[in-house]
Amino acid sequence: MATLRLGDLAPNFTADTSLGMIDFYDYLGDSWGILFSHPADFTPVCTTELGSAAKFKDEFDRRNVKMIALSVDGKESHNEWIKDINETQNTTVNFPIIADEDKKVSTLYDMIHPNADDNLTVRSVYIIAPDKTVKLMITYPASTGRNFHELLRVIDSLQLTAYHKVATPANWKHGDKVVVSPAITTEDAKKIFPKGVEEVKPYLRMTPQPNI
């Protein structure tokens, strides 16, 4: 299959999970989605990640983002692993983990990188918009745990920029000033953004975050 790229339609699939069979599109409905893969069950970094993800679920819910994870092990293994995650991370895993023993979903989403390991998935993150297009992809090596504060930050940026003619600058976080789209003239920007437009350079205009 061709490599999945930003803006592509996220492939649909049906799969068994720790919470039963799902159709991915039906599961997402009109929500945003975050799909993150794990090389295998009972791996140390991924145990901490799934525990952290569970603790962040309320934050994802607040942003209308449905969470789903994937590992190439089976459902029974997942359910045993979840017991360990809940115990060691002092939480309750509250989202489905896809059982992908046949690597069907891993192949659809280009998660198998032979130079890293031809049997296990890399640790990827996909953020998917309500129209089912892929808006962000991040791939981590097995040695580096994901930062869930960063994932929330990029979701805030994606949701803001999807509905307003702005971009977010380096190190932006919710509440900071944003960049006016280069496609808009400064004159028009002042009408669109009544909180004010600061022209640092003709191509660099800043405005307070418009949706707060």
Answer for the pair 98, 15: CB distance below 8 angstroms, yes or no: yes
- Architecture category of domain 164-207 in CATH: 2-Layer Sandwich (3.30)
Q: How confident is the model at residue 122 (pLDDT cuts 50, 70, 90)?
A: low
DSSP assignment of 28-89 equals: HTTSEEEEEEES-TT-HHHHHHHHHHHHTHHHHHHTTEEEEEEESS-HHHHHHHHHHHHHHH
Find the mean pLDDT for residues 107-134: 78
Q: What angle do CA 10, 160, 169 make, to 5 degrees?
A: 105
pLDDT over 70 for what percent of the chain? 94
Q: How confident is the model at residue 60 (pLDDT cuts 50, 70, 90)?
A: very high
Least confident of 1-5, 57-61, 146-150, 161-165: 1-5
Q: What is the pLDDT of residue 2?
A: 57
Separation in Å, CA 196 to CA 65, 96, 176, 210: 31, 44, 14, 10
Separation in Å, CA 65 to CA 29, 43, 94, 129: 10, 26, 13, 9
β 178-180/14-17 pair status? unpaired
- Whether the per-residue pLDDT at 118 is higher than 50: the answer is no
Check 46, 82, 85, 125 and give the catalytic one. 46
Find the mean pLDDT for residues 143-170: 96
Q: What is the pLDDT of residue 42?
A: 93
46 annotated active-site: yes
Domain ranges in the chain are: 14-145, 164-207
| 14-145 matches 164-207 in fold | no
Q: What is the pLDDT of residue 111?
A: 83
Residue-wise pLDDT for 69-115, tens only, equals: 999 899 999 999 999 999 999 999 999 999 999 989 988 998 875 55
- Architecture category of domain 14-145 in CATH: 3-Layer(aba) Sandwich (3.40)
Q: How confident is the model at residue 15 (pLDDT cuts 50, 70, 90)?
A: very high
In this structure, the number of other CB atoms found within 10 A of the CB of residue 30 comes to 7
